[in-house]
Structure 1
Amino acid sequence: MVLVERERQLAELAGLLEECLHGAGSVVVLRGPVAVGKTELLHTFAEEVASDRVRVLAAAGSPVERHLPFGLLSQLLHGADPAYAQRAEAVMSRGAREEGTVGPQVLEGVSRIFLDMSAEEPLLIEIDDVYHADIDSLQCLLFLARRLRRSRIMLLLSDQNRSGTPHPDFRTELSRHPYCTQIRLAPLTCDGVAALLAHDLDAHAAHSLASAAFAVTGGNPLLVRALAEDWEASTRSAGKEPPTGPVVGDRFTERVVSCLHRLEPDALDVARAVAVVGEAPRLELVARLSGVGAIETRALVDLLDESGLLHQGRYRHRAAQDAVLRDFGAPARIAWHRRAAALLHAEGGRSTSIAHQLIAAGQADEPWAPAVLRESAVSATASGQIDFALDCLELAHSLADDDQQRAVSRAVLAETEWRVDPARVVRHLSQLADATNRGLLRGRQPLAVLEYLLWHGRVDEAAATLDRIAATATGPEAVELGAVRACLELCYPAQRRRMGTRSVAPAPMEPRAGGTASLVATALAAVRGDVAVSSDHLWQGLHTDEPLTRISLGLLALARPERLSTVAPWCLPMLADAAGHDGPEWRGLFTATRADAALLRGDLPTAGRIASAALDETSRSSWGVLAGAPLACLLTTAVETGRYEDAAGYLSMPTPGALLETPFGLRYLRARGQYHLAVGRPYAALSDFRTCGRLLLEWEDDGPWQLSWRIDAAQALVRLDRRDEARVLLEEQLVGLPMDDERTLGRALRQLAATLEPHERPPLLNDAVEALQAAGDRVELAHALADLGGAYATTGDSRRARPTLRRAWRAAQECHAERLARSLRPGLAGTSAAQGASGRPRLRGDLAAELSAAERRVGGLAAQGHSNRQIAQRLCITVSTVEQHLTQVYRKLRVKNRTDLPVFLEAEENESGVDPLLADAFSNSAPYSP
């Protein structure tokens, strides 16, 4: 056995034993809280100190044998000689026939047996947990204690630190005797915990765990040993690193329960009441719940504090509290929680405290329970405790006793779950749609149901539900439904034909009077070009917290990314505001819109990073049909940066079945088609692009402001050498194209040039470059420049080809369009460069080595297109010095002017990192922030 910090107690016992051997009997009581090591000390003393010097008779009290007459004495006499055992059995059997207390003859007879035994050899009577002993045995022991002063008997008992035992007379009587010694045991100190751990673990682990183990156990040796066993078990797990802190596992919880069942019944009830009440229990509530008096409850809580189970009246570790609750058994635990809830409600306790008890019980039939749960859910939602709010609403829903209450409680539950994860609402959709159709919901709840249905692709249910609500709606409610209808048409354009309308008519622009419906309808009409509305006007009206407005803006932004220049000034601030204080769906909408904005300006790394973050904001299943938007952005960035394996991984992700009924599905199809083109599958790409066109025609939504599928299809047709078909599609695209759509114009002109002969292409491509520059799309601009440079090179115009291709390569590098940049490098090197082993272009022979560092810096800036004055300002030298360096560069490289400078100069300067002033020419723009 392992004893720590018990040396003093062992020495005191040894001294008393020495006196006993010389005829001075004694009574010794080991006192201390439960499981503090009394049993270990008692047994260690008996086996290691006294066993070879005295005869040991041992017994242990047990709650099971508490009512067994002479049960403890029977245990003791099992270790006696048979003659004494038979003699004692005869005496005790006579006592069993007497009624009431044990008769004096029996008391005298039992005492005489022990005294006679001690006359032959010294006697150590060891009794563990004496407070569980039966009353008959205790009376006999007391009678013996009064007569052993001049005997060779040492009576060694272990008892708990407690005044209110079942037999208080026994303790009081013992304490009167001058030869009765009390030895108190306290829990281990932190150093003691470290020493005890060191018996089972290595010294380093014991030292590192000691402080935390002391905090968990309060120095209780039984629990400390359990932590050591749990830690060792975790280290034996294959492939796992040793834990850095205590492991609170099965052994610990088993020992906690073991401690419980060593307690007296009242102490056990108090320990259970503390576990039921939970954090910061109030003593008066614990007393009422346990049925123990208030004074006695305080004493028992102190006892549990001393034992290490509690600290300041609460369990030191949640695992200990859970173990106590499990030990109840389910029926008893439920009953205790319900009783705690009733007590709290009766005294006017906080609704959240009552709700915690009801949720722990999992059931209730009290009429006040649903109202308390709903009130707690509102409070928890306001304080951000969404999971607790959901638990309250789940139980309140299960307690509803009619269809109306069940429908309303389900709607409230769904609304709260929507804040956490939109995917969780799916389980409620059928019931909520049915409740809406039956008119069981009230207020804005039907509109929220429509929002859920739209989000998750339940378009037929949404449309049918909308029709039913609209049939009876009047006044402001009818106007509100107009906004929902606008969202429905935006997400699912095929519904226009079913509803017999071409587009949503804008509502009057009266922010205060028209409300959300007016704002949403006007915003939609403005983006589609039906009306002209100023951004300031829209922003003033859209500054609202209504969810319908925010989701409309999100749908608007993701469905029409090409129109972000129109939407962003008033859409992104609203989404940012929603993302700051609402659930993951708003953060996801805002983040995905930012990703689209970055993609449209050609910032591929930022677009990819933000789109990935958007999907990480919430699970992909929670995105519903909107998942097509961030997935399309990720696909496009992966293709343009040449990461085809990543793109294939994105394509393998599951998508909702209703995706292709939405504009988000068209975006996904277009991105997939671009992937097929990039990996050499033009027929698959053409199929995807034509599917986009077919769907738009079916939706009667194939206007010039819609998805430009004809440009993509023309690109695939050019790859298949079907240029006439491509030209027809591009001419259709250009008819009626809005004047402000520079991006679509530039893309169309670029592909139209590809259908012409090489010498006919430069004028169109120059127009395309100009349009894409105005649009600010750096990726498309790089492609247009590359096509223009290639057209010049094909016609033999090397004077224009080199700087144009160089400019295209720089644009591709700036936005990390690696696919295009790799294709441009060999052509840029031309006849004046060769491909080195590292993949970087190098000069033939030793021409590069002839340039000094200063000449290389000046030549690099000149190759980028900087003027002599700009070079002088950047390098802090004079214009004359720049001219001198350039003269030497031209001579050494054997070129006539700066347009003939090879592009590898700027590449080497950027890659070497020598001149930070040149690096910003190739740096990415800062991450987008609205």
Structure 2
Amino acid sequence: MEKLAERDIELRRLHDELAGSTLGTGRLAVVTGPPGSGKTSLLNEFATQAAERGTLVSSAVCSRAEQDRPLGVLAQLFPELSPFTGASENALAIHGQQICSLLDDRGPRCVVIDDVQYADTASLQCLSRFVLGSAPVLLVISTCATHSEFQPELHLRLPLLSVNGVAELLSSLVDEPVAHRLAPACHMASGGNPRLAHALAEDYQASAQHVPCDLVTGDAYRKAVVACLHRGGPDLLRVASALALLGDTEVPLDELLGIEDVSLAVSALADMGLVSYGRFAHPAARTAVLGTLATDVRASLNLRAVRLLHERGAPARLVAEHLIATNHVEDDWVLPVLEEAAEQALEHNELHLAEQCLRLAVRACPDERRRTSLLVGLLRAEWYIDPAIGARHVPDLVTAARRGLLAGWDLMVLIYQSLWFGHVDNVVGLAGIVPRPELEVLRLWSRCFLPSLTTVLGPPADVPPDDLRAQSLLALKEVLSGQADRATIGRLDGLLERCLPTPQPLQPELIAIAALVYAGELGRARSWIDRLLDGAPGRNSPSWEGGFAAQQAEISLRLGRPEEAARWANDSLTCMSPQGWGIAIGRPRAVLVLAALELGDLDEAADQLHHPVPPATYQSLWGLHYVHARGRYHLATGNLHAALGDFLRCGDLMTEWAVDHPGLVPWRASAAEAYRLLGRPDRADAVRARFPASPLTDAERRVAVLAASGHPNRSISRQLHITVSTVEQHLTRTYRKLNVTCREQLADRLQLN
């Protein structure tokens, strides 16, 4: 039996009524309250106490299943007089006389009936008309509402529990300190309903982990919620289901459900502790209610709701959410609503909603050209979540493009998606229909990231001066070809001032940051990343954040922070799946390999190299990072010829692509190291001579010598009496001048320099 909490006053008043009933004719006490409020527990406790004090107690529990069985309640109360036969007026009078005679012979008596709303009519008539007025008996009944058959001397309406009452109830099942910790959250989730609070305590007990202050909502709570609703009747369950399904949307529930006074049901849910201000007290309660809905019922309710919302001019976003829930596309008004909602969702960076709207809109659209454009919109939304998701649309869109169903930016979205995954054949086949301004941007992108495609597309010519994409690519091209100067860095700053995250495959802010990193402006690049992420709250996306995480990883690696670099690189692969990185996967994988090598973890480096990369990666800028990192692994494991082969391959490609810049990949320093270990110092000198190192300043040399000796940045800072930031700046310039990427290369390079 559940522990009683905050019911002392009600018990005392019932005992007072019992004492009064012995002085003359019978008395009636009615206990009411919402389902779960503890009526049964109160009656059981009172009956037990009354019996202990010498009162004869007869009890009956009514049920809906026995409601049509005449005199069934009397048979439970007075089995010694059973069987009762006949329910006519005359028969009821005879039964009443028999009961009164029994009560007179045996002294004070208490009759307790639980859930009297389910009692058979004949039993109630007999008790109210022929027993209460004639015998010294206290009749205590419980019901969800006052029963019209009775005029009670005492009416007790049970209130919901306070926080202290919940703590008292919980203490019967869990330790008292735990009970007091859980009580506030439990009170909020249960609304003070004793049955729900008791169920939450059971779930806490059953939980494998008892985390202090953490509430557990499990099977017991779910069952208690459903049981309370079923006891409230079918209308209550229907209203609760509608609230769970529709939330606080402005759907007229009375019209939706065909119930005249919905407000009474909503009030009853609030009285029960399940609902507060039209919303469920706890998400688990809403989930429990939704679990009672059959799939077809849920779909039907949603469909009626969405039509009502549309008829009443509700916002497109709200209507679309319910259309998605129903998967309904048959009405003519559905398509424009979904298109409007998708556009608004993209504008507010609600990418998953936009994706769902567009997916349904593609199904709803009968026109092939319009449907193709919608499919491109879906590809854009999915790109911003994870480019791998939209890859399945590419074959259909390529076919549509060849049939002339795609043009303008829609066509470019498809092209950049294809390039990202290395599908160069798609681009070659569609390049002829690309508009001239977009073709120039495409040529610039290929020149920077996929130079092998330049032979097909041709070199960039007239670069659009006001296009942020084109200007960021142009600056990157200058950096990679060694033509960048301070003016280039200034242009990048100005460009980044104007950048905002936008849902597109080609993001100028990420390209500009890459240019700063390759130019050795690591502090500036990191500062811009922070500004861009902080300055666009709510507009970030997984792929956008993944791109910046990869840049942070590269920066950390170049600053000599391998642990930090590995964390950022792993973050980038969490934001966006490895498959979603396409051919650019070479960059985060390379950082993870090099970071592991710097930390002396050869197994981790090998694990990273075991992950496959797309074949087209090796023809891309990102492939240079990957091949160089693989070469460093071979060097660390003594496979010198394989290492040298990787470094020279990088050098051949960088020379062929006119990107032989040490800020990209320091293949010369690595190749020289491999030659030296192979016993060929002449070749080491020769390969370095083709790109002589710039002289170091005295300050840079002092920092470099200590770093090459194994001192961490903080130690160098203390020894030279400079800040850690200054140490990092000196190392960044030293790495660039000496054409190296890690400390282990410094000693050899310093000696040669």
Same fold per superposition (TM over 0.5): yes
Distance 1:37 1:439 in 2: 71
Shift, 1:604, TM fit: 6.8
**Aligned pairs (5 A) from 1:590-605:** 590-593=548-551, 596=554
Whether the 8 Å contact between 1:527 and 1:567 is mirrored in structure 2 is no
Structure 1 residues 443 and 641: alpha-carbon distance in aligned structure 2, compared to 1, 3 A threshold:
same
Q: Are 1:716 and 2:674 an aligned pair?
A: yes
Q: Are 1:186 and 2:159 an aligned pair?
A: yes
Q: Are 1:85 and 2:82 an aligned pair?
A: yes
Distance 2:688 2:705 in 1: 27
Distance 1:324 1:221 in 2: 19
Could you say what secondary structure the match of 1:151 adopts?
coil
Which residue identity is paired with 1:391? Q
Whether the 8 Å contact between 1:520 and 1:549 is mirrored in structure 2 is no
Q: Are 1:332 and 2:334 an aligned pair?
A: no
Shift, 1:394, TM fit: 3.5
Q: Identify the range of structure 1 (424-433 vs 918-927) with the bigger mean alpha-carbon deviation.
A: 918-927
Distance 1:491 1:648 in 2: 26
**Aligned pairs (5 A) from 1:51-70:** 53-62=55-64, 64-66=65-67, 68=68, 70=70
Aligned to 1:390: 355
Which residue identity is paired with 1:290? L
Structure 1 residues 510 and 373: alpha-carbon distance in aligned structure 2, compared to 1, 3 A threshold:
closer
* 1:548-575 deviation line (CA, Å, top 9, x unaligned): 79546746875x8895269999999699
Percent identity of the aligned residues? 30
Aligned to 2:180: 207
Match of 1:130 among 94, 116, 124: 116
Aligned to 1:412: 377
Could you say what secondary structure the match of 1:444 adopts?
helix
Match of 1:149 among 133, 151, 155: 133
Shift, 1:195, TM fit: 0.7
Which residue identity is paired with 1:131? Q
Shift, 1:458, TM fit: 2.8
Shift, 1:233, TM fit: 0.9
Q: Are 1:10 and 2:7 an aligned pair?
A: no
Whether the 8 Å contact between 1:24 and 1:150 is mirrored in structure 2 is yes
Could you say what secondary structure the match of 1:30 adopts?
strand
Aligned to 2:465: 511
Could you say what secondary structure the match of 1:149 adopts?
coil
Which residue identity is paired with 1:421? D
Match of 1:343 among 278, 298, 308: 308
Calculate the TM-score normalised by the size of structure 1: 0.68
* 1:606-637 deviation line (CA, Å, top 9, x unaligned): 76666565555544333222222233344445
Which residue identity is paired with 2:33? G
Structure 1 residues 592 and 117: alpha-carbon distance in aligned structure 2, compared to 1, 3 A threshold:
same
Whether the 8 Å contact between 1:592 and 1:629 is mirrored in structure 2 is yes
Could you say what secondary structure the match of 2:150 adopts?
helix
Structure 1 residues 444 and 267: alpha-carbon distance in aligned structure 2, compared to 1, 3 A threshold:
same
**Aligned pairs (5 A) from 1:513-528:** 515=467, 519=471, 522-523=474-475, 526-527=478-479
Aligned to 2:736: none
Match of 1:108 among 90, 93, 98: 93
Distance 1:439 1:613 in 2: 40
Match of 1:253 among 222, 226, 229: 222
Distance 1:254 1:627 in 2: 48
Shift, 1:660, TM fit: 1.4
Which residue identity is paired with 2:465? P
Shift, 1:703, TM fit: 7.1
Q: Are 1:630 and 2:588 an aligned pair?
A: yes
Match of 1:585 among 535, 543, 551: 543
Shift, 1:320, TM fit: 0.5
Distance 2:246 2:644 in 1: 67
Aligned to 1:669: 627
Distance 2:271 2:95 in 1: 37
Structure 1 residues 132 and 441: alpha-carbon distance in aligned structure 2, compared to 1, 3 A threshold:
farther
Q: Please say which structure displays the higher CA radius of gyration.
A: 1
Could you say what secondary structure the match of 1:44 adopts?
helix
Match of 1:745 among 687, 692, 701: 692
Shift, 1:389, TM fit: 3.3
Structure 1 residues 214 and 576: alpha-carbon distance in aligned structure 2, compared to 1, 3 A threshold:
closer
Shift, 1:927, TM fit: 11
Q: Are 1:440 and 2:405 an aligned pair?
A: yes
Shift, 1:228, TM fit: 0.5
Which residue identity is paired with 1:461? N
Which residue identity is paired with 2:441? A
Q: Identify the range of structure 1 (581-590 vs 333-342) with the bigger mean alpha-carbon deviation.
A: 581-590
Structure 1 residues 606 and 262: alpha-carbon distance in aligned structure 2, compared to 1, 3 A threshold:
closer
Q: Are 1:688 and 2:635 an aligned pair?
A: no
CA RMSD of aligned residues (A): 4.1
Aligned to 1:292: 259
Aligned to 1:225: 198
Aligned to 1:812: 708
* 1:236-282 deviation line (CA, Å, top 9, x unaligned): x2xx453422111111011000001101233232222222221x365
Shift, 1:453, TM fit: 1.9
For structure 1, the residue ranges without an aligned partner over 5 or more in a row are 93-102, 163-169, 735-743, 747-770, 783-805, 819-906
Which residue identity is paired with 1:245? D
Distance 1:924 1:530 in 2: 23
**Aligned pairs (5 A) from 1:518-917:** 519=471, 522-523=474-475, 526-527=478-479, 535=488, 543=498, 551=507, 554=510, 564=519, 577=532, 580-581=535-536, 582-593=540-551, 596=554, 614-615=572-573, 617-639=575-597, 644=602, 646-692=604-650, 700-701=656-657, 709=667, 712-723=670-681, 734=690, 744-746=691-693, 771-773=694-696, 809-812=705-708, 816=712, 917=721
Distance 1:921 1:243 in 2: 42
Distance 2:41 2:605 in 1: 67
Whether the 8 Å contact between 1:161 and 1:303 is mirrored in structure 2 is no
Distance 2:267 2:283 in 1: 19
Which residue identity is paired with 2:696? Q
* 1:854-902 deviation line (CA, Å, top 9, x unaligned): xxxxxxxxxxxxxxxxxxxxxxxxxxxxxxxxxxxxxxxxxxxxxxxxx
Match of 1:74 among 66, 72, 75: 72
Aligned to 2:739: none
Match of 2:211 among 235, 242, 254: 242
Aligned to 1:762: none
Match of 2:393 among 415, 428, 434: 428
Shift, 1:714, TM fit: 4.4
Distance 1:549 1:242 in 2: 44
Distance 1:124 1:641 in 2: 82
Q: Identify the range of structure 1 (604-613 vs 353-362) with the bigger mean alpha-carbon deviation.
A: 604-613
Distance 2:581 2:310 in 1: 41
Structure 1 residues 334 and 548: alpha-carbon distance in aligned structure 2, compared to 1, 3 A threshold:
closer
Shift, 1:525, TM fit: 5.8
Distance 2:44 2:556 in 1: 76
Aligned to 1:40: 41
Shift, 1:671, TM fit: 2.0
For structure 2, the residue ranges without an aligned partner over 5 or more in a row are 733-753
Shift, 1:124, TM fit: 3.9
Structure 1 residues 75 and 393: alpha-carbon distance in aligned structure 2, compared to 1, 3 A threshold:
farther
Distance 2:521 2:190 in 1: 64
Structure 1 residues 813 and 424: alpha-carbon distance in aligned structure 2, compared to 1, 3 A threshold:
farther
Which residue identity is paired with 1:58? A
Shift, 1:232, TM fit: 0.8
Whether the 8 Å contact between 1:718 and 1:726 is mirrored in structure 2 is yes
**Aligned pairs (5 A) from 1:291-370:** 291-293=258-260, 296-370=261-335
Whether the 8 Å contact between 2:550 and 2:572 is mirrored in structure 1 is yes
The number of residues matched between the two structures is: 720
Whether the 8 Å contact between 1:813 and 1:922 is mirrored in structure 2 is no
Q: Which has the higher contact order (CA 8 A, sep 6+)?
A: 2
Shift, 1:157, TM fit: 1.6
Match of 2:150 among 143, 156, 174: 174
